[in-house]
Structure 1
């Protein structure tokens, strides 16, 4: 069977049949403007790189073409030893090679030590990869591997040349067992395949945004926008996996079954303050509360710089926020009275285990009213909400 040339990867074809832009409906609205800004910074960096080369290799200092020009004097503000432009020449000159080598080594290590998903090895997970690739219009099915997590819940996507691959840590993969939450795993895999489909792991994208990370706030903001885009892909694959994946990310693979999505998402609106914002600005991934808020309410794109408004909370707060005055915090006696009046726990503290039958579905707790009211009254993520 011959392969159509239109399905083959090419330099400017993009990872999907939708072209370089991918699925525009799933891309966060701030991603491309931030990438363009990062590209402008890279262009300035390489302009300085050209100046540095001229400064290094001109025969006589008085003959240097750029001597005295403002652009050349910008080099004096860079963290270079004694104004020597050698460092910028080395860093920017070898950046493309360094990126290519690092990508090759990562792929080689995964191929050498990971368990490769296939129709006969972790077939359920592999089917999720293939279905996500088909849903997003990818030209080729990406490689998929399981690696030993050693307690770390993580997954990532990368590439080498035209090859794309997804890696899932074994600890994250464990949420996919039949007695647990396979939809959470489907979301995780959809998220990672979404990175591939959106072009986030291409060589040129990584090079394009590389210099942005030396600019405070900008580099992490680009990364957070890309994470929201990948979350949109994950939601497109598995909307029922939202509660499970947010529980997994914030509570872990066992306690995640105890994490209430609404309580987590509502705190994005109530937990405020400068230092909370600084914590988000420094992060390459959206903080969990903001991320949960964006995944629960699909009418609002994920926030990059400013917390969601207070009216985005779905329920009345059950406890004071961390930024509230100390007078609002209850005494131990008050807290004990509330604990005694709270509904009994629906399942044991340590979550759900394989081979154990549970009378209530997992979402009975994860999507309940966080104040303990009738669980059936709490809307599901993505549902229309009366304001």
Structure 2
């Protein structure tokens, strides 16, 4: 069985090439200043990573031949089976009911951490624990931890970074599968992740695997494309196929989901990562929706202001016909402002030329005006031209533009 997922090498090649180009561009473009920042970043990383390692050593239980020898034996056997010469330091950590495990690296030393709830849940099927052990050893065997810093520039690229992260997970699942004595044990390990410490025993693995057919819709496709992890039902389908000596054909993804995912940089998945992805999506949508909504509301308020201006100009026109001249004020023309929507800040008339000016109340348009300019047409009738030199034409009604 091939332990490396089919796409991982190709994606790694793209990630490496792009990252090297970006690093080179940064170093050349900043005349080496970027190296100083890289050094500072490395120092900050060491402090952060040292906090994790210190927490493990000060809180978790180190797995040795004296402490949990059954787990130590499984770890050593898994390393031998996967061809890993140096056995990493291993710890058992209580995480308040969380089901997981992880691998990490600090100053040249590899670590794997098993969560106690996983070990307890699978006590009756200890071979399934090998799946978790083998999965984390896969990260070490494939040097995922060593390459992560170099590949960092390309890791944030939409689609690419997340695709490589998912490929690594599929690869590590294969390592976990290979570490098991029973071909079905890997499925039990995933079942515990899905259903929890007790219910996994009653879970129908075949039916759960069949849920993978439901992952081809737009939203499920999109959220997987921006995630570091494949859907668990897909991982289960792969493990079932490997146990049967075949390769599964996963359902395709929605094409439009790829388009939206192009706008989402890779930010991880699960917990805060999922939240950040949601925030990023909202940000993209808001960048389009908020200006559009603001234009819509501004147009509506400007249209109300134009309506007020037409009422005022009609009163001025009526006064002109009755008196042969324009009014000194709008009150003299019999105009009383009726503006229940508070769209208008002020309305004025120029007694010298009869021009009516309406000042919208919209804060973004404060101080600007819409002018209703009268003229006498060929039939000796008053005609009005509506327009504004201050307000963008896109906010004005069609008959107030370029008249």
* TM-score bin (small chain): 0.5 to 0.7
Q: Name 1:256's counterpart in structure 2.
A: 200
Structure 2 vs 1, CA of residues 143 and 303 (structure 1 numbering), >3 Å: closer, same or farther? Answer: farther
Over residues 61-90 of structure 1, what are the superposed CA-to-partner deviations in whole Å (9 max), with x where a residue is unaligned? xxxxxxxxxxxxxxxxxxxxxxxxxxx777
Q: Does 1:30 align with 2:30?
A: no
Shift in Å, 1:108: 2.6
For residue 236 of structure 1, report the CA deviation from its aligned partner. 0.6
| Conserved 8 A contact 1:128-1:186 | yes
Q: Secondary structure at the match of 1:283?
A: coil
1:53 matched to 2:25: no
- Give the alignment of 1:2-81 within 5 angstroms: 25-54=2-31
Shift of 1:97: 4.0
* Partner of residue 221, structure 1: 163
Greater CA deviation, 222-231 or 193-202? 193-202
Distance 1:263 1:124, change over 3 A: same
Moved more, 98-107 or 219-228: 98-107
Distance in 2, matches of 1:278 and 1:35, equals: 22
Q: Which 5+ residue runs of structure 2 have no aligned equivalent?
A: 255-403
Which one of the candidate residues 280, 292, 299 is aligned to 2:224? 280
Alpha-carbon offset, residue 28 of structure 1: 0.9
User: For residues 186 and 302 of structure 1, what CA distance do their matches in structure 2 show?
Assistant: 26
Q: Deviations over 1:215-273 (max 9, x none)?
A: 11221211111111111011111123123112111111122222211111112124421
Q: Distance in 2 between matches of 1:208 and 1:27?
A: 20
Report whether the alignment pairs 1:296 with 2:240.
yes
- Match for 2:176 among 223, 228, 234? 234
- Cα distance in 1 for partners of 2:171, 2:84 equals 16
Partners of 2:216 and 2:253 within 8 A in 1: no
Distance 2:249 2:74 in 1: 25
Paired residue secondary structure (1:215)? coil
2:70 alignment partner, one of 94, 100, 124: 124
Q: What is the CA–CA distance in structure 2 between the aligned matches of 1:132 and 1:148, rounded to whole Å? A: 22
SS of the counterpart of 1:172?
helix
Could you tell me how far apart the structure 2 residues matched to 1:220 and 1:294 are? 19
The 3 A distance-change label for structure 1 pair 33 and 93 is farther
In the TM superposition, residue 133 of structure 1 has moved relative to its aligned partner by 0.8
Q: Please identify which structure carries the higher strand content.
A: 2
Deviations 1:122-145 (A, max 9, x none): 221111111011111222111110
Aligned equivalents of 2:177, 2:215: Cα separation in 1: 25
Q: Distance in 2 between matches of 1:305 and 1:104?
A: 42
- Per-residue CA distance 1:270-306 (angstroms, 9 max, x = gap): 4421211112112211111111111111222686974
C-alpha displacement of 1:94: 3.8
> What TM-score, normalized by structure 2, do the two folds share?
0.57
- Listed one character per residue, the Cα deviations across residues 91-150 of structure 1 (whole Å, up to 9, x for unaligned) are 655444444444443223212221011112122111111101111122211111011111
Q: In the alignment, which of 147, 151, 155 is matched to residue 101 of structure 2?
A: 155
State the distance in 1 between where 2:225 and 2:175 align.
23
Matched, 1:207 2:149: yes
Cα distance in 2 between the residues matched to 1:187 and 1:109: 25
- Is residue 111 from structure 1 mapped to residue 53 from structure 2 by the alignment? no
* Structure 1 residues 42 and 271: CA distance shift in structure 2, 3 A: closer
Seen in structure 2, the aligned counterparts of structure 1 residues 106 and 53 have a Cα distance that, compared at 3 Å, is same
Is the CA contact 2:101–2:136 (under 8 Å) kept in the aligned structure 1?
Answer: yes
Aligned residue in 2 for 1:347: none
